[in-house]
Amino acid sequence: MAVEPVVYGASERPPRGDYARAQADYTCAQNWAAYSDADHDTYRRLYERQTALLPGLACDAFIEALPSLGARDRIPRFEDINKRLKPATGWELVAVPGLIPERPFFDLLANRRFPVTDWIRTPDEFDYVVEPDVFHDLFGHVPLLFNPVFADYVQRYGAGGLKAHDLGAGELLSRLYWYTIEFGLIRQAGGLRAYGAGILSSSGELRHSVTSLQPKRIALDLLRCMRTRYKIDDYQAIYFVIDSFDQLFDMTAPDFAPLYEAVRSLGDLSADDTIASDSSITFG
């Protein structure tokens, strides 16, 4: 059954990926034999460049878990990673042809199935690709799924997403995803570090997010976060900071419905806005 592809954000571009081969839940087989030598070489070069940037910028938990991805010189087989991931935190990777609609996405996360786009950017997109590709998903998202507390947070996020979707609050919850799982910062002994996949898989934003004086950095507050619109195709103007994955997991325990009401009555904020209750985080 062919499924409708989705377009990410406001882009008019047709989505990438061949959705005809996806099943009703949007998952497909990872066609590992279809990767060209150029594809594997692109992955190897991205992996090599990104790992050299991590010290002092990526959080300890990510650096510790990264070797669990396995192959560094070619695109890994998702089934090989699953042999390690399933016993570690109960998660498994499933291939998808690209971005999928909100509800199937939340449903996969709620069931500890992480959707990994199975195509890779072309060599001339080496520095930037608009939609998440296999490098963004594997390198950015998968290592922290080996961390039990973070893995539980992502599953709880998916379950919350299903409720949010049914309340028409999917966009509000996607802001929480954006400002934590994609672009979150964490304070650890040595100072600020990145834990968000969008930062960890980006050659430019990793240093920018942790060291630049330009963006705002404020302590994660759920209401503030869900009020804040995000930018898809530029470095973030604001980063939300946590002190631990336990804190992130505990924050998302209560029911979110009252939060959605509060967001609706207080209204949205742009990523450039500052409000009095912002608790700004300085370096160190």
Q: Which residues are catalytic?
A: 136, 141, 182, 201
> What is d(CA 137, CA 181) in angstroms, rounded to the nearest whole number?
11
SS3 77: coil
The residue (of 146 and 179) whose beta carbon lies closer to ligand HBI is 179
> Residues in the site for Fe ion, rule: CB under 5 A?
132, 197
CB of 90 to Fe ion, least distance (A): 20
> Residues in the site for ligand HBI, rule: CB under 6 A?
96, 99-100, 102, 105, 115, 117, 132, 174, 177
CB of 190 to Fe ion, least distance (A): 25
Which one of Fe ion, ligand HBI, none interacts with residue 134, CB within 5 to 8 A by kind? none
The residue (of 154 and 242) whose beta carbon lies closer to Fe ion is 154
CB of 133 to ligand HBI, least distance (A): 10
Residue nearest to ligand HBI (CB): 174
CB of 136 to Fe ion, least distance (A): 6
Q: What are phi and psi of 8, to 5 degrees?
A: -85, 125
Token digits of residue 142: 């998968």
> What is d(CA 195, CA 182) in angstroms, rounded to the nearest whole number?
8
> What is d(CA 222, CA 225) in angstroms, rounded to the nearest whole number?
5
The residue (of 18 and 41) whose beta carbon lies closer to ligand HBI is 18
Asked whether 49 and 41 are in contact (CB, 8 A), the reply is: no
The residue (of 147 and 201) whose beta carbon lies closer to ligand HBI is 201
**Distance in Å from the first CA to the final CA of the chain:** 53
Number of other CB atoms surrounding residue 120 within 10 Å? 23
Q: What is the CA radius of gyration of the chain?
A: 18
